[in-house]
C-alpha cells in the first residue's frame, strides 16, 4: 500500500488532475453540442465550420436517451446549445419535453424539405438515412420484390432477416407504417414478418447483411450506408439494394438531425452551425462521411451512393415517427417481434 | 402523449418473459461462475503442478475484457457467418442444423460465465490461500479424507468470500446491458432501457428499476442471514512450499482444465481482437491514444483510492456500531452495482444537477455571482458516480477479510497494551491487506471498462478508452474498436499483476 501510493506520487497525480481541470477554453464565440452522432461522423463538419466562421465547437457524445436525460436534469443551466441525434424520434421527444427552441431561419427552410424538419422549427434534418430492402442476388430476382408490406406474404417464409425491434430505425419504420395503415393492419404486417423470419432477430445491420450474403436468409431490411460500408470492404458479396414502395408511399427514410436547445446561451452561433450544416458546401461532407443522402435537394449524393440508383422518398413528415414511436414499440411487442 | 399505460403494457406483454429470462440467466451464471471459480481457486491455491504459478494469475486475465467485447467476439467467431461455421459448411458441403443457435439462452450464459468467473475465483482463492493446507491437515488429523476436508471444512470456511464473489457476479449480471444486447436477450435491464429511452416513460422505467432493486435487496438479506450464523478464525497463510504436488495424469488434467478455461475466456478473444486491431492499426491509431490511456488510468486510480477508502469506512462502521440500521445502510450504499449503468448514471446526475442549481441560486442571491456549473463538468462528478457504482466491488472483499478479525484478536491485542491506531496499524491492516488489494484491483479494472457513467458525466475533452470503444462500436465498427479494446485490456493487466505479486508470495 505505502509503496504504491507514496506521498510524492500522490502529489504528482493531484497536480496533473488539478492542472487538467484548470485549463479552460478561451472565451471566444463558441457553440456547445451534445451529439448522439459519433465523433467520426460529426467532427469533420465541426472543423469545417470553425475554419469558415471562427466559431469554436465543443462537443460531447453519448446515446440519445442519456443526452435527453442530461438536458432535462441540467435545465436552464445546461451548457448545451445544440442537440444532434441520429433519428427523428428522439428529436421529436426532445421537442415534446420542451428541451428545444423554435427556430425560424429562411436558410434552413430553403435548404431542408418540409417533411424532414419539424413544422414548428424545433428540429431540422441534416442527412437522410434510407431504410430499404437488401436481397441475395443468387436467390432472389428483383421482380419478386415490391413493398415492405409484401415481406409479410407467406412466400417469404423462412427467407427474411430482421434486426432487433429495439433499434430506433425499426421503431421509426413501424411508426410510419402505423401512420399510413393504422394499428390493426400494421400489426398484421409485423406479425407476418415475424412468421417469415429465417432466424431470430439479429443485433445489428451489418450482421443482418452478412446473414443475407451467406445465404442464411434471402431478404432483409437495412439502412443503405451499412450496405455501402460492407460492400466497400468486400465488393464480391452477392448483395443488392431494392427500393420498395415506389408505386405508392415511397422508401422509408429517417434523418440525423439537430435542434437548438431551449436554454442555449449562444443561440446565434447555434443557428449559424445548423445553417452551415445544411448549406451546399457542408452537405456533401456531412452526407459523404457516412454514405448517407444529403437533405439539401441541390446537393447530389456521393458517387458510390448515387450508383445505388434514384428512388422516391416517403413524403410524410417525420414528426409522425416520434409521435407514434411508443405505439410502434408496443405493437412490435404484441406481434412477438423481439 | 400518455405514457402511464406503458407499465400496463409491459405487465401484459413482456414482464413475465423478462422475469423468466433474468431468472434463468442469473441461475446459470451463478452456478457456472461458482463451479469454475471455486474449483480453479482450489486447484491453484492448494496444489502444485507444472504451470500452476502461471495459471494462478493468468486465470484472472479475463477480468480485463469487458463482457460485451467477449460477447461480440463469440458472435464474430461462432455465428452463422463466422469462420468456424463457414469452414464447417465448406468441408461438409451442407447446412449445420446441429450447430447451437447463439441467440438462445445458452450463448449469453456461457459468455457471462467466462467473463465473470474471475470475481469468484479471486475471492475464493484468497480464502483458500489464507486457510491453506494446514486446515486440510487438521481435517485429515480428524479422520477426514481430502474430499471430505474440502467439502466439510475448507468450503464452509471460505463461504463469506465465495458468497461475496457470487453476489458481485449476480449484480453484474442483473446490471448488464451490453452483453444481452449483442445476443438480443431480453432482461430487466433491456426492459428498463426500452421503457425509458424507447417509449420515453420515466415512470415505467422507475417501476421496473425499483422492482429490480427490491429483488437484489432480498438476495442480499438472504446472503447476510447465512453469513451472520458463522464465525471465522484465521490460520497462518500457506506458502508455495507446502502445497500438495500433483504429478502424472492428475497434473495433466489440472493443466488441461485451467488451460481450456484460460483459452476460451482470454486467449481466443485476445487473438481475435489483435487480428482486428492489426487490420485497422494504420487508420485508427493517432496520438490521442496516449491521452485516452492516461485519462483511463488516472480516473481508475483516483476512483480506486476513493472507493476503497469509503469501503473501509463502511466496514468499520458496521464493526464499531453493529446494529440493524448500520447494516441496512451499508447494504443500500452498495446496491448501486446491481443497477444498469445508464440508469445509475442518470440517477446520479439528476440530484447533482439539482445541487448545482441550489448552489447557484444561493450564490446569486447572497453574492450576486453567476457561477455557472460548479459540480457538473468536473472530474469530481465522475468520481462520485464511480464510487456509487463500484462501492460493492470494494466492499465485499474488505468485508470478508474483516470477518476474519475476531473479537478475541482485538482483546488479545489489548492484552498486549495496544490501543486505537496501534491495533489498526499492526493488527488490522496486515490482516485486511489482501482484502484491500483485491478490492483495489477489482475497482481499478471495473472503472477502466465502465461506459455509461463515463459517457454521461465526463467533462469536455475527458475521453477515455471506453468512450472510444463506445464511439466505434455504436455504429458496429468492431474492427476499428479492437485497438482501444486491446489497449484497455493491456492496461487492465497492470493492477492484476501488481495484485498477484502482493498476495501470492
Tens of pLDDT, residue by residue over B237-261, are 555 556 888 888 999 999 999 999 9
Task: Please choose, from the candidates A246, A259, A239, the residue with its C-alpha nearest in 3D space to the C-alpha of residue A311.
Answer: A246
Quick one: DSSP state of residue B75?
H
Task: Please give the average per-residue pLDDT across A74-97, as a whole number.
Answer: 95
**Whole-structure pTM value:** 0.91
Query: Given CB atoms, is B198 within the 8 Å cutoff of chain A?
Result: yes
The alpha-carbon gap from A251 to the nearest alpha carbon of chain B, in Å, equals 22
The Cα B226–Cα B240 span in angstroms is: 32
**Which of A330, A332, A336 has the highest number of chain B CBs within 10 A, making it the mutation to test binding with B?**
A330
Query: Given CB atoms, is B81 within the 8 Å cutoff of chain A?
Result: yes
The Cα B499–Cα B192 span in angstroms is: 36
The Cα B156–Cα B144 span in angstroms is: 15
Residues of chain B positioned with their CB less than 8 A from the CB of A171: 198
What's the pLDDT score for residue A78?
92
Tens of pLDDT, residue by residue over B32-50, are 999 999 999 999 998 999 9
Quickly state the pLDDT bin for B141 (edges 50, 70, 90): confident
Residue A169 known to bind ligand = no
The proportion of chain B whose per-residue pLDDT surpasses 90, expressed as a percent, equals 48
Query: Given CB atoms, is B422 within the 8 Å cutoff of chain A?
Result: no
Contact B476 A226 (CB under 8 A): yes
Q: How far is CA B192 from CA A306, B15, B18, B37, in A?
A: 40, 11, 11, 30
Tens of pLDDT, residue by residue over A270-306, are 999 999 999 999 999 988 999 999 999 999 999 999 9
φ, ψ for residue A183 (rounded to 5)? -65, -45
Task: Please choose, from the candidates A306, A309, A271, A274, the residue with its C-alpha nearest in 3D space to the C-alpha of residue A291.
Answer: A306
Calculate the average pLDDT of chain B: 88
pLDDT of residue A11 exceeding 70, the answer is no
The alpha-carbon gap from A106 to the nearest alpha carbon of chain B, in Å, equals 30
Question: Closest partner residue to B199 among A39, A326, A334, by Cβ?
Answer: A326
Helix (H, G, I), strand (E, B) or coil at B118: helix
How are beta strands A239-242 and A219-223 bridged, if at all? unpaired
Domain A30-128+254-301: assigned CATH number: 3.40.190.10
Residues of chain A positioned with their CB less than 8 A from the CB of B80: 199, 211, 214, 216
Pick the CATH number of A129-252+322-335 from 3.10.129.10, 3.30.70.1560, 3.50.50.60, 3.40.190.10: 3.40.190.10
* Residue B161 · residue B127 · CB < 8 Å: yes
Tens of pLDDT, residue by residue over B209-224, are 999 999 888 988 888 7
Question: Closest partner residue to A200 among B103, B199, B433, by Cβ?
Answer: B103
The Cα A249–Cα A253 span in angstroms is: 11
Task: Please give the average per-residue pLDDT across B42-68, as a whole number.
Answer: 92
The Cα B207–Cα B204 span in angstroms is: 5
The number of residues in chain A equals 338
pLDDT of residue B130 exceeding 90, the answer is no
Cβ neighbors of B155 (< 8 A, separation 6 or more) are: B38, B162
Residues of chain B positioned with their CB less than 8 A from the CB of A214: 80-81, 86
Tens of pLDDT, residue by residue over A200-223, are 999 999 999 999 999 999 999 999
Residues B356-395 as b or e (16 or more Cβ within 10 Å = b):
bbeebeeeeeeeeeeeebeebbebbbbbbbbbbbbbbbbb
Contact B342 A199 (CB under 8 A): no
Residues A94-122 as b or e (16 or more Cβ within 10 Å = b):
bbeeebbbebebeebeebbeebbbbeebb
CA B411 from chain centre, in angstroms, equals 35
Question: Closest partner residue to B460 among A60, A166, A211, by Cβ?
Answer: A60
Q: Can you say whether the dihedral through the CA atoms of A262, A265, A270, A271 is positive or negative?
A: positive
What's the pLDDT score for residue B378?
86
Contact A38 B183 (CB under 8 A): no
Nearest CA in chain A to B436: A1
Task: Please choose, from the candidates B65, B56, B471, B495, the residue with its C-alpha nearest in 3D space to the C-alpha of residue B272.
Answer: B65
Task: Please choose, from the candidates B60, B24, B33, the residue with its C-alpha nearest in 3D space to the C-alpha of residue B44.
Answer: B60
Task: Please give the average per-residue pLDDT across A92-102, as a whole number.
Answer: 97
What's the pLDDT score for residue A23?
44
φ, ψ for residue A119 (rounded to 5)? -55, -30
pLDDT of residue B2 exceeding 50, the answer is no
Residues B4-39 as b or e (16 or more Cβ within 10 Å = b):
eebbebbeebbbeebeebbeebbebbbebbbebbbb
Contact A73 B360 (CB under 8 A): no
Quick one: DSSP state of residue B150?
I
pLDDT of residue B236 exceeding 60, the answer is no
Q: How far is CA A194 from CA A200, A206, B97, B186, in A?
A: 9, 20, 21, 17
Quick one: DSSP state of residue A296?
S
Residue A227 known to bind ligand = no
Q: Could you tell me the three cell numbers for A135?
A: 436481397
Domain ranges for chain A, please list them.
Answer: 30-128+254-301, 129-252+322-335
Quickly state the pLDDT bin for A88 (edges 50, 70, 90): very high
The alpha-carbon gap from A39 to the nearest alpha carbon of chain B, in Å, equals 7
The alpha-carbon gap from B55 to the nearest alpha carbon of chain A, in Å, equals 25
* Residue A241 · residue A308 · CB < 8 Å: yes
* Model ipTM value: 0.91
Contact B199 A70 (CB under 8 A): no
Task: Please give the average per-residue pLDDT across A11-30, as a whole number.
Answer: 56
The alpha-carbon gap from A69 to the nearest alpha carbon of chain B, in Å, equals 7
Element (H, E) at B66: none
Residues of chain A positioned with their CB less than 8 A from the CB of B459: 21
Tens of pLDDT, residue by residue over B318-350, are 988 888 888 888 988 999 999 998 889 988 888
Q: How far is CA B412 from CA B13, B230, B407, B408, in A?
A: 61, 21, 9, 6
Question: Closest partner residue to A77 among B197, B199, B356, by Cβ?
Answer: B356
Contact B193 A60 (CB under 8 A): no
Tens of pLDDT, residue by residue over B348-395, are 888 888 888 888 888 888 887 776 667 777 899 899 999 999 999 999
Contact A77 B372 (CB under 8 A): yes
Q: How far is CA B19 from CA A338, B13, B325, B363, in A?
A: 15, 12, 31, 48
Question: Closest partner residue to A58 among B193, B456, B460, by Cβ?
Answer: B460
Helix axes A64-74, A88-96, angle to 10 degrees: 20
Q: Can you say whether the dihedral through the CA atoms of A11, A12, A18, A22 is positive or negative?
A: positive
How are beta strands A252-260 and A82-85 bridged, if at all? antiparallel
Contact B79 A207 (CB under 8 A): yes
The alpha-carbon gap from B184 to the nearest alpha carbon of chain A, in Å, equals 6
The Cα A269–Cα A273 span in angstroms is: 6
End-to-end Cα spacing for chain A: 50
Residues of chain A positioned with their CB less than 8 A from the CB of B350: 69, 73
Residues of chain B positioned with their CB less than 8 A from the CB of A201: 184
Nearest CA in chain B to A210: B81
Ordered DSSP codes for B217-269: HHHHHHHHHHHHT------PPP-GGGSEEP-HHHHHHHHHHHHHHHIIIIIHH
Cβ neighbors of B271 (< 8 A, separation 6 or more) are: none
Question: Closest partner residue to A203 among B81, B182, B467, by Cβ?
Answer: B182
Quickly state the pLDDT bin for A4 (edges 50, 70, 90): very low
Q: Do domains A30-128+254-301 and A129-252+322-335 have the same CATH topology?
A: yes
Amino acid at each position: 500500500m505505502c509503496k504504491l501510493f507514496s506521498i510524492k506520487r500522490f502529489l504528482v497525480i493531484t497536480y496533473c488532475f488539478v492542472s487538467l481541470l484548470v485549463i479552460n477554453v478561451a472565451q471566444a464565440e463558441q457553440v456547445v453540442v451534445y451529439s448522439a452522432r459519433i465523433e467520426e461522423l460529426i467532427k469533420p463538419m465541426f472543423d469545417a465550420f470553425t475554419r469558415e466562421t471562427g466559431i469554436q465547437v465543443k462537443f460531447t457524445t453519448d446515446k440519445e436517451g442519456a443526452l435527453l436525460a442530461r438536458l432535462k436534469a441540467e435545465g436552464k443551466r445546461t451548457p448545451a446549445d445544440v442537440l444532434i441525434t441520429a433519428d427523428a424520434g428522439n428529436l421529436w421527444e426532445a421537442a415534446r419535453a420542451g428541451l428545444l427552441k423554435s427556430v425560424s431561419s429562411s436558410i434552413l427552410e430553403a435548404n431542408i424539405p418540409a417533411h424532414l424538419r419539424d413544422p414548428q422549427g424545433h428540429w431540422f434534418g441534416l442527412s437522410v438515412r434510407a431504410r430499404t430492402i437488401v436481397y441475395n442476388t443468387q436467390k432472389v430476382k428483383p421482380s419478386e420484390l415490391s413493398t415492405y408490406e409484401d415481406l409479410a406474404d407467406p412466400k417469404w417464409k423462412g427467407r427474411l432477416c430482421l434486426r432487433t425491434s429495439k433499434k430506433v430505425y425499426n421503431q421509426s419504420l413501424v411508426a410510419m407504417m402505423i401512420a399510413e395503415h393504422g394499428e390493426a393492419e400494421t400489426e398484421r404486417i409485423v406479425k407476418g414478418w415475424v412468421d417469415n423470419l429465417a432466424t431470430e432477430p439479429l443485433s445489428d445491420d451489418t450482421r443482418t447483411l452478412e446473414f443475407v450474403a451467406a445465404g442464411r436468409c434471402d431478404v432483409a431490411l437495412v439502412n443503405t450506408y451499412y450496405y455501402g460500408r460492407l460492400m466497400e470492404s468486400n465488393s464480391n458479396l452477392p448483395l443488392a439494394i431494392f427500393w420498395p414502395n415506389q408505386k405508392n408511399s415511397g422508401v422509408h427514410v429517417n434523418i440525423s438531425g439537430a435542434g437548438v436547445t431551449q436554454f442555449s446561451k449562444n443561440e446565434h452561433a447555434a443557428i449559424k452551425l445548423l445553417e452551415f450544416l445544411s448549406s451546399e458546401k457542408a452537405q456533401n461532407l456531412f452526407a459523404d462521411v457516412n454514405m448517407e443522402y444529403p437533405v439539401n435537394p441541390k446537393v447530389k449524393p456521393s458517387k458510390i451512393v448515387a450508383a445505388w440508383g434514384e428512388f422516391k422518398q416517403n413524403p410524410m413528415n417525420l414528426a409522425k415517427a416520434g409521435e407514434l414511436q411508443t405505439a410502434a414499440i408496443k405493437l412490435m411487442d404484441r406481434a412477438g417481434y423481439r | 402523449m400518455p405514457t402511464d399505460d406503458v407499465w400496463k403494457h409491459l405487465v401484459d406483454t413482456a414482464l413475465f418473459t423478462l422475469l423468466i429470462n433474468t431468472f434463468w440467466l442469473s441461475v446459470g451464471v451463478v452456478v457456472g461462475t461458482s463451479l469454475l471459480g471455486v474449483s480453479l481457486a482450489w486447484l491453484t491455491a492448494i496444489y502444485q503442478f507444472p504451470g500452476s504459478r502461471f495459471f494462478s494469475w493468468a486465470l484472472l486475465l479475463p477480468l480485463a475484457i469487458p463482457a460485451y467485447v467477449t460477447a461480440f467476439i463469440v458472435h464474430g467467431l461462432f455465428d452463422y457467418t463466422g469462420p468456424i461455421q463457414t469452414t464447417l459448411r465448406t468441408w461438409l458441403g451442407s447446412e449445420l442444423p446441429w450447430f447451437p443457435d447463439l441467440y438462445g439462452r445458452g450463448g449469453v450464459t456461457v459468455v457471462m460465465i467466462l467473463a465473470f468467473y474471475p470475481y469468484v475465483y479471486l475471492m475464493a482463492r484468497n480464502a483458500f490461500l489464507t486457510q491453506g493446507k494446514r486446515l486440510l491437515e487438521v481435517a485429515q488429523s480428524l479422520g477426514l479424507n481430502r474430499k471430505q476436508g474440502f467439502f466439510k471444512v475448507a468450503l464452509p470456511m471460505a463461504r463469506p468470500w465465495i458468497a461475496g464473489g457470487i453476489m458481485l457476479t449476480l449484480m453484474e449480471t442483473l446490471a448488464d446491458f451490453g452483453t444481452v444486447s449483442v445476443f438480443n436477450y431480453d432482461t430487466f435491464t433491456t426492459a428498463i432501457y426500452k421503457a425509458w429511452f424507447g417509449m420515453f416513460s420515466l415512470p415505467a422505467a422507475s417501476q421496473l428499476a425499483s422492482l429490480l432493486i427490491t429483488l437484489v435487496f432480498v438476495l442480499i438479506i438472504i446472503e447476510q442471514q447465512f453469513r451472520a450464523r458463522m464465525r471465522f478464525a484465521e490460520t497462518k497463510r500457506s506458502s508455495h512450499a507446502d502445497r500438495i504436488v500433483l504429478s502424472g495424469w492428475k497434473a495433466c488434467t489440472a493443466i488441461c482444465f485451467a488451460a481450456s478455461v484460460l483459452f476460451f475466456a482470454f486467449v481466443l478473444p485476445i487473438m481475435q481482437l489483435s487480428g482486428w486491431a492489426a487490420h485497422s492499426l494504420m487508420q485508427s491509431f493517432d496520438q490521442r491514444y496516449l491521452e485516452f490511456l492516461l485519462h483511463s488510468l488516472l480516473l481508475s486510480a483516483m476512483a480506486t483510492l476513493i472507493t476503497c477508502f469509503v469501503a473501509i469506512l463502511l466496514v468499520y462502521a458496521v464493526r464499531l456500531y453493529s446494529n440493524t440500521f448500520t447494516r441496512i445502510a451499508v447494504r443500500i450504499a452498495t446496491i448501486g452495482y446491481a443497477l444498469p449503468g445508464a440508469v445509475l448514471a442518470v440517477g446520479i446526475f439528476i440530484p447533482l444537477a439539482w445541487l448545482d442549481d441550489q448552489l447557484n441560486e444561493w450564490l446569486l442571491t447572497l453574492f450576486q455571482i453567476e457561477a455557472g456549473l460548479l459540480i457538473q463538468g468536473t472530474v469530481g462528478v465522475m468520481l462520485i458516480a464511480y464510487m456509487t457504482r463500484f462501492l460493492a466491488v470494494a466492499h465485499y472483499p474488505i468485508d470478508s477479510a474483516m470477518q476474519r478479525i475476531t473479537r478475541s484478536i482485538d482483546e488479545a491485542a489489548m492484552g498486549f497494551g495496544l490501543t486505537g491506531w496501534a491495533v489498526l496499524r499492526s493488527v488490522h491492516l496486515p490482516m485486511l491487506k489482501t482484502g484491500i488489494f483485491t478490492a483495489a484491483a477489482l475497482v481499478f479494472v471495473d472503472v477502466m471498462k465502465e461506459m455509461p457513467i463515463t459517457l454521461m458525466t465526463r467533462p469536455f475533452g475527458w475521453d477515455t478508452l471506453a468512450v472510444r470503444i463506445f464511439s466505434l462500436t455504436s455504429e458496429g465498427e468492431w474492427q476499428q474498436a479492437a485497438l482501444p479494446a486491446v489497449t484497455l485490456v493491456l492496461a487492465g493487466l497492470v493492477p492484476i499483476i501488481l495484485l498477484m505479486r502482493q498476495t501470492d508470495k
